[in-house]
Amino acid sequence: MSSIHSIRFSYVSHLLKFNFDAGTSRGVLREKTTYFIQASCQKFMHVGWGEAAPLVNLSVDDIPDFEEYLKKYCDDLVFEWDSSDHNPTKTVLDWCANFIPAQFPSIRFAFETALLDFVHGGKRLVFDTDFYTSEKPIPINGLIWMGEREFMYEQINEKLANGFTCIKMKIGAIDFEEECKLLEYIRSRFSADQITLRVDANGAFSASEALNKLKRLSEFQLHSIEQPIATGQWKEMAALCQQTPLSIALDEELIGIYGFEQRRQLLDQIKPQYIILKPSLVGGLKDSQEWIRLAEERGIGWWMTSALESNVGLNAIAQFTSTYQGLMHQGLGTGQLFTNNIDSPLVVKNGFISYKKELLWSEIS
Q: Which residues are annotated as catalytic?
A: 170, 278
Distance from C-alpha of 212 to C-alpha of 87, rounded to nearest angstrom? 51
Q: How far is CA 323 from CA 80, 97, 125, 285, 319, in A?
A: 26, 20, 13, 11, 7
Distance from C-alpha of 172 to C-alpha of 107, rounded to nearest angstrom? 30
**How many residues can be counted in the chain?**
365
Distance from C-alpha of 123 to C-alpha of 119, rounded to nearest angstrom? 10
How do strand 346-349 and strand 352-355 relate by DSSP bridges? antiparallel
Q: How far is CA 192 from CA 3, 183, 188, in A?
A: 56, 11, 10
Distance from C-alpha of 10 to C-alpha of 50, rounded to nearest angstrom? 10
Taking the CB of residue 339, how many other CB atoms lie within 10 A of it?
A: 10
b/e per residue 56-79 (b: at least 16 CB within 10 A): eebbbbeeeebeebbeebbeeeeb
Query: What type of residue sits at position 211?
Result: L
In degrees, rounded to 5, the angle at the alpha carbon of residue 69 between the alpha carbons of residues 66 and 70 is: 85
Alpha helices in the chain (DSSP H): 66-76, 88-99, 105-119, 130-133, 149-161, 176-189, 207-217, 234-243, 259-270, 279-282, 285-297, 311-321
